[in-house]
Structure 1
Amino acid sequence: MPAISLPIRTERLVLRRFEAGDLDAFQAYHSLPETARFLPGPAKSYTQSMERVGRYANFAFEKEGDWLALAIEAAGLPGLQGEVVLKWLPGRGQGEVGWTLAPGARRKGYATEAAAAVLRLGFEELGMHRIEARLDELNTASASLCSRLGMRLEARHIDKWHYKGQWATELVYAILAPAWRIGSGG
């Protein structure tokens, strides 16, 4: 994999490495039940947030299983708005994208813009062939985001996960590099 040049700038966002100063903002939205609703595990404690921000700040993206975790910041407005991640999955050229936003950053198109930048990175710079997103069927906002990105629904796994006291149906969206190039005008 080639080296990743950071930060990544989009029209409205800066995607950068996490910093120690992001901890309080990260904890503020990750401690909320509404944020944790579609994430594995309960809302995060301060200690769990410290561990996660530390891992995110010190990521290495060198081999299968590694995560690229980027802080989302609005251009010209310092402060953590959320995160976007790309996981290098096993298998030739496979990845998984995900995102989480602070409540004040939702419904502004930030997740779409950040995820599109990570897809561009995965396909155009890292040479990935396929990138997927896995989500709870009840997470209709993320399903709509996947569609906006040009991802197609590949699978619906009924009662795939049992978490937060109930069974959840998993949706798998994905996009292949050729479709990305066509859809992005590349």
Structure 2
Amino acid sequence: MPDIRLPIRTERLVLRRFEASDLDAYHAYHSLPETARFLPGEVKSYTQSMESVGKYANFVFEKEGDWICLAIEAADSPGLLGEVVLKWLPGYGQAEIGWSLAPEARGKGIAAEAARALLNLGFGELRFHRIDAKLDALNLASAALCERLGMRLESTKVERWHYKGRWATEVVYAILAEEWKSRQPD
């Protein structure tokens, strides 16, 4: 895999490595039940947030199981708005994308813009063949985002996960490299 050139700049955003100064903003939204609702773990303690920011700041992306987690900030206003993640899955050319935003950044197209940039990286420089997103079926906002990105609903696995004291249905959205590239302007 090639070196990943950071930061990644879009029209409105900068995607970069996490920094120690992101800790308080990261904890502010990851300590909220509404943020944790569709994430695997519970709300994060300050110590857990510190551990996450440390891991995200020092990621390596060299082999299956590695992941990129980039801080999202507005190009014209520094400050953490959320994160976007790309995980290298087992199996040739496979990856998974995900995102999480602070409440004040939601509903403004920020996740879509950040996810597009990460899909461009995944299918461009990193040459993945297929990228998917695995969601709780109740996460309607992320499902709508997957559809806006051109991802197709591939499967619904009823009561696939047991987390937070209940069974959850998993939906999987995916897109192939050639599908993504055919949707991009020349």
Same fold (TM over 0.5): yes
In structure 2, the residue matched to 1:141 is: 141
Q: Secondary structure at the match of 2:6?
A: coil
- Correspondence for 2:178: 178
Residue by residue over 1:36-92, the C-alpha shift from the partner in whole angstroms, topping out at 9 and shown as x without a partner, is: 000011100001000000000000001100010000001110000000000000111
Match of 1:159 in 2: 159
The separation in 2 between residues aligned to 1:181 and 1:74, in whole angstroms, is: 26
TM-score, reference length from structure 2: 0.99
DSSP-derived class of the 2:124 partner = helix
Q: Give the whole-Å Cα distance in 2 for the aligned partners of 1:166 and 1:109.
A: 30
1:43 has 2:26 as partner: no
SS in 1 for 2:96: strand
Output the CA distance in 1 between the equivalents of 2:102 and 2:57: 18
SS in 2 for 1:125: coil
2:55 counterpart residue number: 55
1:184: how far off? Answer: 1.3
SS at match of 2:147: helix
- Report matched runs for 1:4-83 at 5 Å: 4-83=4-83
Could you tell me which runs of 5 or more consecutive residues in structure 1 were left unpaired when the two chains were aligned: none
Amino acid at match of 1:102: A
> Secondary structure, in 3 states, of the residue corresponding to 1:83?
strand
Structure 1 stretches of 4+ with a deviation exceeding 3 A read none
Aligned length: 186
RMSD: 0.6
- Tell me, in whole angstroms, the C-alpha distance in 2 between the residues paired with 1:46 and 1:164: 20
Q: Does residue 113 of structure 1 match 2:113? A: yes
**Matched residues in 2 for 1:75 and 1:102: separation?**
16
The Cα offsets for residues 90-130 of structure 1, whole Å up to 9 and x where unpaired, read as: 11110000000000000000000000000000001110000
Alignment partner, residue 169 of structure 2: 169
Q: Alpha-carbon deviation of 1:185? A: 3.0
Structure 2: unaligned runs, 5 residues or longer? none
**Quick one: which amino acid aligns to residue 168 of structure 2?**
A
In the alignment, the residues of structure 1 paired with residue 133 and residue 184 of structure 2 have an alpha-carbon distance, to the nearest angstrom, of: 18
SS of alignment partner, residue 92 of structure 2: coil
In structure 1, distance between residues paired with 2:25 and 2:148: 27
TM-score normalized with structure 1 length: 0.99
2:107 partner amino acid: R
